[in-house]
Amino acid sequence: MTLDERVAEARAEYARARPVSARWSSRARVVMPGGNTRSVLHFEPFPFRVERAESKFLWDVDGHQMIDLLGNYTAGLLGHSPGPVVTAVRDALDSGWSLGAVHANEVRLAELIVDRFPAIEQVRFTNSGTEANLMALALATDHTGRRKIVVFEHGYHGGVLTFGTTAGAVTVPHDWLLLPFNDIDAVDAAFAVHGDEIAAVLVEPMQGSAGCLPPAAGFLEALRDRCDEHRSLLIFDEVMTSRLSTGGAQQRLAVTPDITTLGKYLGGGLSFGAFGASRDVMLAFDPASEALPGHHAGRLGHAGTFNNNVATMAAGVAALTEVITPDRLDATNARGDTLREGLEHVFRSRGTKMCVTGIGSLMNVHGTAGPVRSQSDLATADERLRELLFFALLDAGFYIAPRGFIALSLEVTDDDVAAVVAAVDEWAGSIVGD
């Protein structure tokens, strides 16, 4: 059987097993383009509909139980409905939820985040990582008085900050300098020509949506050096990667940014974003402070009705004080390393033309033997292999992203990791020769 025939068969078997999800999909398409309101959740022939979730498990409307290895694209680090977070949110809602005023938990959460990330002396909250990155760019252009922003091909910094080899159609119109990821020579050339015009470099310490592509040796350090030389600001988008250690990828990789953006699990898995920096950079948002030389205190406004919403603030405090302990986080990242190494061993031993990239609890399976250092290395990847693996793991009771992305939660165990490796080994053995 050819790979094309196998994909057609896998899709048909998936659809036959999910008639209720199929009906929901048909109903949804009438009122929502594509049948959903978050494009990444679509896949062919239709996505299953979740009925409930608990701990590491999902149940769909057709009664299938799955171990969730996707973790809501990193937002679900805590698993589903962890007890301390649920209790904190319920208590907060019992006290009222649309206050239009400041309250204590936003201070507590800010203190916890400042404590966690040494590069952040002051922080402001947003409703999403997208908003956090937008505010970080506004802050950088105001602080430097410059307009150009260096970003990297296939970087993703939110729905309106999306890049391929060009800026996406919905990407906001900054004066972008779009460079290849992991290409130090391209960075040097851009700074040589535009150094006194560059306000900031915006980069993910590991490109997430592009396929969990780690930085090449010396790449982040080169960005730090060029920003220092030209008085530009280095912005680390740690919306996804902050889970890679208690102090984020910046701590793990030992490179310190000027501005850090955050999101996802730090709000307990609810809608959340944040951006932070040193006091002198954040001064632009403080109307009560005197300006430092060359700066403007209180120059920038920062709106957002739900920036300090009581549910997220309470959830974040509970998550950081009661759930995401350093030991649990370290164990989850170590478990991710074990899973990635196990999958790599399967692909090599079975002769399957696939590989895995990533760091810690974040990884991506690719339809090529690799190595993969940038998107250009994926030009000849066979997406059929990834799709077949996606359906095979669903049949085995594991949910990953159709694009091969995996983000482990704290709830996933060593036994789960071993079971995933065994399931992939069985699948890989079944397609030998195709």
Contact 127/272 with Cβ under 8 angstroms?
yes
- The SS3 assignment for 266 reads helix
The reply to whether 237 belongs to the active site is yes
Contact 263/129 with Cβ under 8 angstroms?
yes
Residue among 156, 258, 399, 416 flagged as catalytic? 156
DSSP per residue over 191-219, as a string? HHHHGGGEEEEEE-SSBSTTT-BPPPTTH
Residue among 60, 68, 258, 264 flagged as catalytic? 264
HEC string for 214-255 = CCCCCHHHHHHHHHHHHCCEEEEECCCHHHHCCCHHHHHHCC
Please name the residues in contact with 75: beta carbons below 8 A apart, sequence gap of 6 or more: 263, 264, 265, 269
Residue among 68, 183, 237, 258 flagged as catalytic? 237
Q: Residue 434 is encoded by which pair of tokens?
A: 């195709």
Estimate the crossing angle of helix 383-395 against helix 3-16, to 10 degrees.
30
User: CA 287, CA 283: separation in Å to the nearest integer?
Assistant: 8
Angle made by CA atoms 123, 269, 365, in degrees to the nearest 5: 105
The reply to whether 68 belongs to the active site is no
- The SS3 assignment for 412 reads coil
The reply to whether 264 belongs to the active site is yes
Contact 383/377 with Cβ under 8 angstroms?
no
Contact 421/341 with Cβ under 8 angstroms?
no
Q: How far is CA 196 from the centre of its chain?
A: 31
Q: Tell me which residues are annotated as active site.
A: 156, 237, 264
